[in-house]
Amino acid sequence: MSREQRVRVDALLRQPRPAGPQSVEAFRDRFGLTMAQMIVPDGIRTTRTTLGDRPALHVAPDNNPRPGTILYFHGGGWVAGSPETALSMTGHLVAKTGFTSHSLDYRLAPEHPFPAAIDDAVGAYRALLDSGQDPSAIAFAGDSAGGALTVTTCLAARDAGLAMPAAIVAFSPSLDATGSGESMDTKAGIDPIFTREYLKETIAPLYLADQDPCQPMVSPALSADLTGFPPMLLQAGTNEVLLDDSTRMAARARTAGVSVILDITADVPHVFQCFAGVLDEADAALERAALFLTQHVRSTEPAAVPAR
């Protein structure tokens, strides 16, 4: 792997940010411009669609798609982002697995705070099941806030009596709204994107809207019961303050008897997978994620939905 690549990515992420308070609209614009620089692979096609009652982006291989669906949740701190900002990751997962993906345009805070995003994600999953898709042919995947949604959507789906999906893939998931992980301190200054103060004073209040940050649906790494969960792949980098969100989630999964892979890559930042095509570690991590998905998603044709 290339040290020079890692240095360039770190420098890119450390570029000066606007001074003073930043509006939500400005944050969204800046996030969108940053993610628009990421490389989207060839060999895929995208179509705007709806899933449940929300817009979504359908991403499919150009040729010979395999039966199997990735329900993807984009990152952006529950405040920013869209299916388009995550297209580098959804595109590479689709290209590498041959599965199709539905990338959900869930509602964002502060206009729609917790639990709106979770409600939308469960609605999307229910829509896939109602269309005749077998849960064993569906996987959840997501990055950052979307990585958290892979977990909390499973919690909510289980509580609603829905069958679990085949697998979870979470890239740098944000799983502790209290900011209590040791990596918040040990990675301070090493992380080129986040600080404890930034997350606690900006993102968390907008999403939580004064609700309890310790509850399982907000901080599953602290208190969620993962009994009955599908196999999980948690990927994170050593250069991120959210590292311990993944390590503690992996420990909770093991305690609950859940099959889990904790995949930590050295000297890379938060959601480094989005730098596929630029950073060797990103390409390798996405290859491992694709392998995990193909090992766990059962490639079956959707069942026919009875006429009503």
Q: Which residues are catalytic?
A: 144, 240, 270
d(CA 23, CA 217): 27
d(CA 245, CA 289): 19
d(CA 121, CA 134): 17
Q: List, in order, residues 6 or more apart from 202 with CB less than 8 Å away.
A: none
Q: What is the DSSP letter of 97?
A: H
Q: What value does the CA radius of gyration of the chain take, rounded to a whole number of Å?
A: 18
d(CA 267, CA 226): 30
C-alpha closest to that of 144 among 271, 235, 13:
271
Q: What is the DSSP code string of 98-127?
A: --EEEEE----TTTS-TTHHHHHHHHHHHH
